[in-house]
Amino acid sequence: MPDIRPDDESYWSTIRAQYTRSPDFINLENGYFGMPADPVRAALRRYQDEVDRENAFFLRTRWPARLARVKALLAGFTGVAPDELLITRSAVESMNILLQGYPFEAGDAILMARHDYDSSHDIVRMLAERKGLTVVQVDVPYDLEDEDAIAALYADAITPRTRVLLLTHLVHRTGRIMPVARLAALARAHGIDPIVDGAHALAQIEFTIPQLGTQFAAFNLHKWVGAPLGTGLLYIARERIADIAPLYGDVTFARTDIDKLGHVGTVPPAPIMAIEDALAFHAAMGGKAKEARLRWLARRWMDQVRDLPGVRVFTPRDPNLHGALGAFGIAGIPAAEVVRRLMEEHRIFTVIRKFGGTEIVRVTPHLYNGPEDLDALAAAIRQWAPPR
């Protein structure tokens, strides 16, 4: 793989040319789902035609081999075995399967953090009520970069009843990359199961599942892998599959077979088939070069505004601690007002997220954005920053 520099516009323009974006606005809200590249969109349409044309013949005769091929490719990509992976419809579905199927007993505690994903909070709170569990929540300040201090916050919140530690790899609110392997090791040292939410991490940053040091993880394929909407991934280490009870009724598969957890009925195969094309697109540039480019795009706006008076960037200054995603606020202007004016006055689309009680503006460039998009954002922020 040639060494592709993150600021090599002649290379990245060839990647940008493979996305068809809306001409109507600058989309800097690519955190919800990742626009698939044109070759993936074309493949999706082809596969949908193929499936519709062949109908049940496709599903009954050709689908099992196609699914096995996609799973084998995902296994190669994530560094685990195909029989430890289940393709789901989203990270939320993966997380529901894991948490709702986990063998909790009344009185067990789940440890999570304020910055974890809202739907994960919902699942945990629902289960707590239903099963008589205790929820303990740590509060990691957005600007706490010291890993020892972060580990200490989690360690202090562990009790003898803690059964599961929910960990978010890349925080969707601020873009912060958490020391997830270290925290997973901390959990295991206390006999606690870490469950990792890697929804935003997979293919935004480079890693393999074994590096996380967890036996349970939930991911999206429709964010940074670039597969079509409606694709997620669930990982369970082979020796732990028997411990998770099916959320969707199933008595046909062995307790040790991960497919027992995927009995959701007839789902569209075309998006799953196009995972193959998304992985090929990702591999052609390489995960490392992609991560570096995304980080470079994020730095492009953050570095211009971080030290302006009244502007607060909620994403770490250390480039190793973030990827594409970042967030900011401007003193004296509510986040909702910033988001509205960015769209109305500059045709820049962003979104509000909450960090604790504070509303912040989240900015997420994608590979199809160029430096001019981030410069336009920085210019708008500069114009609104209060004078010194």
Residues that bind ligand PLP (CB under 6 A): 90-92, 117, 119, 168, 172, 197, 199-200, 220, 232
Task: Compute the distance between CA of residue 373 and CA of residue 297 in angstroms, rounded to an integer.
Answer: 9
Q: Which is nearer to ligand PLP, 117 or 216 (CB)?
A: 117
What long-range pairs does 201-207 form, CB within 8 A, spacing at least 24?
201/169, 201/170, 201/177, 202/78, 202/233, 203/282, 203/287, 203/290, 204/170, 204/291, 204/294, 204/323, 204/324, 204/325, 205/170, 205/177, 205/291, 205/323, 206/287, 206/288, 206/291
Task: Compute the distance between CA of residue 287 and CA of residue 78 in angstroms, rounded to an integer.
Answer: 12
Quickly list DSSP for 83-126: GGEEEES-HHHHHHHHHHHS---TT-EEEEETTS-HHHHHHHHH
Q: Beta-carbon neighbour count of residue 369 at 10 Å?
A: 23
- Least distance to ligand PLP, CB of residue 18, Å: 23
- Least distance to ligand PLP, CB of residue 195, Å: 12
- Least distance to ligand PLP, CB of residue 199, Å: 3
- Least distance to ligand PLP, CB of residue 351, Å: 10
Q: Which is nearer to ligand PLP, 172 or 322 (CB)?
A: 172
- Least distance to ligand PLP, CB of residue 99, Å: 12
Q: Which is nearer to ligand PLP, 51 or 91 (CB)?
A: 91
DSSP state of 62: I
Q: Which is nearer to ligand PLP, 28 or 92 (CB)?
A: 92
- Least distance to ligand PLP, CB of residue 94, Å: 8
Q: Which is nearer to ligand PLP, 15 or 360 (CB)?
A: 360
Q: Check: CB of residue 378 under 8 Å from CB of residue 56.
A: no
Structure tokens at 179: 């020391």
Q: How do strand 351-355 and strand 358-363 relate by DSSP bridges?
A: antiparallel
Q: Strand, helix or coil at 362? A: strand
- Least distance to ligand PLP, CB of residue 388, Å: 36
Q: Which is nearer to ligand PLP, 48 or 119 (CB)?
A: 119
Q: Which is nearer to ligand PLP, 44 or 180 (CB)?
A: 180
Q: Which is nearer to ligand PLP, 232 or 269 (CB)?
A: 232
The label of the residue with tokens 């003898």 reads: 160
Catalogue the E-assigned strands of the chain.
26-27, 85-88, 109-113, 134-138, 162-168, 193-197, 216-220, 232-236, 311-313, 326-330, 348-349, 351-355, 358-363
- Least distance to ligand PLP, CB of residue 200, Å: 5
Which amino acid makes up residue 246?
Answer: P
Q: Check: CB of residue 235 under 8 Å from CB of residue 216.
A: yes
Sign of CA dihedral 265, 42, 64, 92: negative
Q: Which is nearer to ligand PLP, 12 or 102 (CB)?
A: 102
Give the residue from 267, 302, 233, 257 showing the smallest Cα distance to 79: 233
Q: Which is nearer to ligand PLP, 12 or 142 (CB)?
A: 142
- Least distance to ligand PLP, CB of residue 3, Å: 31
Which amino acid makes up residue 95?
Answer: M
- Least distance to ligand PLP, CB of residue 242, Å: 25
b/e per residue 315-325 (b: at least 16 CB within 10 A): bbeeeebbbbb
